[in-house]
Structure 1
């Protein structure tokens, strides 16, 4: 089963290495659609995901400063090349204009950075197949909620939270596990301020199904992060809010 290591350097490295395999004559826009898993023509989503990708070098540098402050030289070489490529990005130019700015030495140094972070954080990998299963469950649940005859405000809240959670899973290969955790927390956190939402989650069969599904996602996150079982904690939050 294919695995993704949940650290920002590994995520950036995987995308750039995939970019190195693309035909340099292709339009950059077409390559970015493929690399960032965006449907061609969805310019807004492409811009959003590019922005998140461009944020990774700074995130990596911050984590390296925390865990390996003595490896600044390792970071500075690849970051200079990658930041320069991002600053001068032109999605209408041939792919060569972007990818040729990032040499093999940059990828080698970035690989070392990824290994150092992995050793320091000891984060466990997420399986792509498992992520796909979680997404499939949430997507089916979202369809059920949309078709259900429930309070319009509650439906709007649930579809918004589920959409955010599904999107965070879709973007895991860029942004990592924390947005998934944030989205799961937000889904349950609304019970504190919305009585109708709390009533739906605690008393309706579809609401209980939602709690179970999101708890499963939250607990999967704990396997990666090493945090306490979040699904149980979020369940207690709902119980205490009653």
Structure 2
């Protein structure tokens, strides 16, 4: 079973980046690596920022492991941070790529192995992610066209967008982001009973909660983490 952790996700992105030649345009490489449409600079910058912040997540995860000399695993941090700081989206990929040498990959691999051993987090299957994304996008259109009260429509569309974003950024944020989006929906349902009651008389509302329950089940089976039951 392939295991997930912030070091593994950062390592995967960097290794894929090394497959591109020095002469490639930096912006185009990042768009391909992070699945961003050309010209969508706001999304691109946001995702690059999230990739960079994986360094902080990794250090925090290491600090949570008792009896480990954290500094032994952090020799990759400076060159990786330097690569991001000096990153010129209008320049050549070489400016970023040349900072990621074999030592960075080796130390990051060691860190990933340690975290996978201490805090194993299985990855959601690509087929499951595609299904969740497809169903959520279709449901957004159904909610918009429904006769549900505007406040409930707004809530449902917002939560479905969160699900879509979590799936699209799964390679950066992992399954935890999908789980968090689902739990947020269930939490709203606990505090706003009308959003749940609507499922008794409205097929679209019923479909929304069924969709959330299905996603929770998929995440539970894949990660072994118990999700909240649907309201």
Q: Which residue of 1 aligns with 2:212?
A: 214
Following superposition, the deviation at residue 68 of structure 1 comes to 6.1
CA deviation after TM superposition for structure 1 residue 201, in Å: 3.3
Match of 2:109 in 1: 111
Q: What is the rounded CA distance, in whole Å, between the counterparts of 1:102 and 1:83 in structure 2?
A: 10
Greater alpha carbon shift after TM alignment, 51-60 vs 132-141: 132-141
Instruction: Work out whether residues 6 and 126 of structure 1, in 8 Å CA contact, stay in contact via their aligned partners in 2.
Output: no
Partner of 1:24: 22
1:135 Cα deviation (Å)?
1.4
What residue in structure 2 maps to residue 200 of structure 1? 198
The verdict on how the C-alpha distance between 1:4 and 1:94 changes in structure 2, with shifts beyond 3 A counting, is farther
Instruction: Provide the rounded CA distance (Å) in 2 between the counterparts of 1:51 and 1:181.
Output: 21
1:128 to 126, 129, 146: 126
Give 1:202 deviation, angstroms: 4.2
**Equivalence map 1:82-231=2 (5 Å):** 82-228=80-226, 230=227
1:77 to 75, 78, 84: 75
Aligned residues: 231
TM-score, structure 2 as length reference: 0.92
What are the ranges of 5 or more consecutive residues in structure 1 without an aligned counterpart? none
CA RMSD in angstroms, aligned pairs only: 1.8
Q: CA deviation at 1:125?
A: 2.6
Do the aligned residues in 2 keep the contact of 1:38 with 1:46 (CA within 8 Å)? yes
How far did residue 195 of structure 1 move? 4.5
- Between stretches 67-76 and 155-164, larger displacement belongs to 67-76
Task: Report what 1:234 is aligned to.
Answer: 229
Q: How big is each residue's C-alpha offset from its partner over 1:90-127, in whole Å with a ceiling of 9 and x where there is no partner?
A: 21111000111110111111111111111111222321
More divergent stretch after superposition (203-212 vs 100-109): 203-212
Encode CA deviations 1:218-238: one digit per residue, 9 max, x unaligned: 12222343222x2xx332xx2
